[in-house]
Structure 1
Amino acid sequence: MTSRTTSGIRNTDLFYRKQYLVIVEGEDDIPFWEMLFPKQISNYECKFKQVGGSEIKKYVDAVYTGNANFAVALDSDYRLFMEKIHDHVQIVETLAHSIENLIIQPMILHGIIRIASRQHEYELNKIEDWFNHFNEVLYDLMVADYMIQKEGLGIKCLSKDCRRFLKNQKTKEPIFDISNINNFIESLNLDTKKLDLIKKELRDHLTHRHIQGHFLFSSSLYFVNHEIQKIRGTKVKRSISNDDFFTMLILECQKSLSDYTDLQILREKANQAAQYVVELISKV
């Protein structure tokens, strides 16, 4: 992607007359933020522009320097742990690692499995048990990944696919191997004293809310496909793809948006950002 100049970023809104602009990291983020930002305010329609994760910092900087008549919506990543959450009305960010950490919830997966498996009596507690397993077994791995990023160590820890940490990588049964995880963390050669201290500091934080979103997405998709396969057996013609799973998550989330306090808080912040931006551009 071509890098934008400071003046180009400052004048971004000029290309969107009678629209208020929301800058996002990627095109996959748009369906999520569309749920939260008002479609129209004072005859200004919402318009999203994706700029890429490497570019979005320039737009955030423009907001802080007062050279931005747009809003920015982004993942907080590990900034919540670092106490570096952005404090500006024009910036809206997830109070979990990523979008995926907000939309992947037990009730959301419950809706997807019930529909895809044709078993409307599917029990929610099966999903809750798996979330408990995920939160417990992968906590240390999340902490190690956070420490690496916090310290700027440049070590590769988590990937987008969780398969390497499963007990059975062939069947992809979504049960994680604690011995494999511990051996992997040991191989990173991290400062154990610092690691243990961070483990204590973050103990009250749930893994599924703060581990990298793509890793959670991969894990949840393996779980959903595994559960559907158990129920339907040979009737299942193919596994749910990444794209289809994301679409299902968004659709289920839309149906029950009012049930989630985090999303309601985020929607209010998005509304405040939109109103503020419209006031700015209406004065130009």
Structure 2
Amino acid sequence: MDNISYSTEAENILHLFYGKDKLVYVEGDNDIPFWEYLFGELSSHTVEVKPVGGKLAMAKHIKAICEGKAGYFLAMDSDYDCFTGENNSPFIIKSFGYSIENSLISPKSICKVLKDINSLPARDVPASLCETWVERLNERVKKLVIYSILNQENRIGKVVFPDGSAQRFLSSKTSFFFSEEKIDSYIKSLGMNVSKKELEKKEEEVIKKYPSFSDIIQGHFLFSAALSFINNFSKKNGVKGTLSNKNLFIHLMNIFESHFGESHNHFSFYKKEFERINQL
């Protein structure tokens, strides 16, 4: 079934094949457990969640929904849609921040991963270090976020966040923190002519929409940064080997499912979004 292409009309009734109330399309395989969990927790609809193969493959489904031809749901990353005003429909539900990774990664979830893979007793969990890491991350990537938003809004066509390459900005290979000098040098190499006034205006706009810059960092970049921090901490703690992308995602997803609730920074957003979805 998964490799078969269907017409919009067929897709509108495909949920019946699975014995569900609704069909939900997501971008990729990694998005399935996240959205399945949230629909299971917050939605009154039973759903079948299926990947389409990436954001570009979502385009035809977004078009069908926006034209009023499709009755299924799309669950997708927000990217910078809140700044560009793109891809809005009652049948589309989006992540709070740039992507699902921004809801999975937090000081608490990173601490839990460190505790588990380093077999740390509660008293030795580096909670303050995890808080400091996120605080410094917010400060150091601020310019990258702003340039990335301006790049998309103005359709400049630059790759501001090197996909999955956060390690290149570390002060050293074994460091926990990013180098401001390396980030500034990289931004300069992009050749984007952005005035100080433009940067300040966009920063104010981001702050109004999001409580933290880590909410709107490109998801794969944030994931890469967290993975580097976790692996570097673990090496210094004497742990042999490194945590893989897949295993980190599994850890983060398990933590999210175990601790998602009113104390989670994004809970009220998702609760409100599913209250809207539940009326459809």
> TM-score, normalising length from structure 1?
0.85
Higher RCO by CA contacts (8 Å cutoff, separation 6 or greater): 1
Please name the residue that 2:194 is paired with. Answer: 192
Matched residue, 1:76: 78
Q: Give the CA deviation at 1:192.
A: 2.5
- 2: CA distance between counterparts of 1:41 and 1:98? 20
Gaps of 5+ in 1: 277-284
Identity %: 27
Query: Could you say which residue in structure 1 is the equivalent of 2:169?
Result: 165
Change (3 A) 1:41 1:128: closer
Q: Spell out, residue by residue over 1:44-87, the C-alpha distance to the aligned partner (whole angstroms, 9 max, x if none).
A: 74211111211212212222222222111001101123344624
Question: Is the alpha carbon distance of 1:34 and 1:271 closer, same or farther for their aligned partners in structure 2, counting shifts above 3 Å?
Answer: farther
How many Å separate the matches in 1 of 2:95 and 2:272? 12
- Equivalent residue for 1:138? 141
1:260 aligns to what? 264
Instruction: State whether residues 103 and 250 of structure 1, in contact with CA within 8 Å, keep that contact through their aligned partners in structure 2.
Output: yes
Deviation at 1:16, TM superposition (A): 3.0
2:222 to 216, 226, 240: 216
Q: Deviations over 1:159-197 (max 9, x none)?
A: 22212211113x3x2311111111111122222223444
Say which SS state the counterpart of residue 60 (structure 1) adopts: helix
Q: Any residues of structure 2 matched to 1:1-284 within 5 Å, and which?
A: 8-17=7-16, 18-19=19-20, 20-38=22-40, 45-51=46-52, 52-84=54-86, 86-88=88-90, 90-119=91-120, 120-121=122-123, 122-159=125-162, 160-169=164-173, 171=174, 173-193=175-195, 194-203=198-207, 205=210, 206-231=212-237, 233=238, 236-258=239-261, 259-270=263-274, 272-273=276-277, 276=280
Does the aligned pair in 1 maintain the 2:42–2:274 contact within 8 Å?
A: no
Q: Is the 8 A contact 2:14 2:23 kept in 1?
A: no
Letter in 1 for 2:152: Q
User: For structure 2, which runs of at least 5 residues remain unmatched after alignment?
Assistant: none
Q: In the aligned structure 1, how far is the partner of 2:191 from the partner of 2:42?
A: 52
Aligned amino acid, residue 176 of structure 1: F
Return closer, same or farther for 1:16/1:203 CA change in 2, 3 Å cut-off. Answer: closer
Of stretches 203-212 and 47-56 in structure 1, the one that deviates more from structure 2 is 203-212
- Indicate the SS of the match to 1:111: helix
Q: Secondary structure, in 3 states, of the residue corresponding to 1:158?
A: coil
Q: Secondary structure at the match of 1:182?
A: helix
Q: Which amino acid aligns with 2:169?
A: F
Is contact 1:101–1:213 with CA below 8 Å preserved after alignment?
Answer: yes
SS in structure 1 opposite 2:75?
strand
Q: Tell me the amino acid that sits aligned with residue 185 of structure 1.
A: I
Q: Given that residues 10 and 62 in structure 1 are in contact (C-alpha distance below 8 angstroms), is that contact kept between their aligned partners in structure 2?
A: no
d(CA) in 1 for partners of 2:131 and 2:10?
A: 48
Bigger shift: residues 27-36 or 186-195: 186-195
Q: Which amino acid in the other structure matches residue 222 of structure 2? A: L
Q: Distance in 2 between matches of 1:123 and 1:229?
A: 15
Which digits, 9 at most, give the CA deviation of each residue in 1:226-274, with x for residues without a partner? 222223x1xx231110000001000001111112152353145236425
- CA distance in 2 between partners of 1:69 and 1:253 (Å): 29
Shift of 1:139: 0.5
> RMSD of the alignment, in Å?
2.5
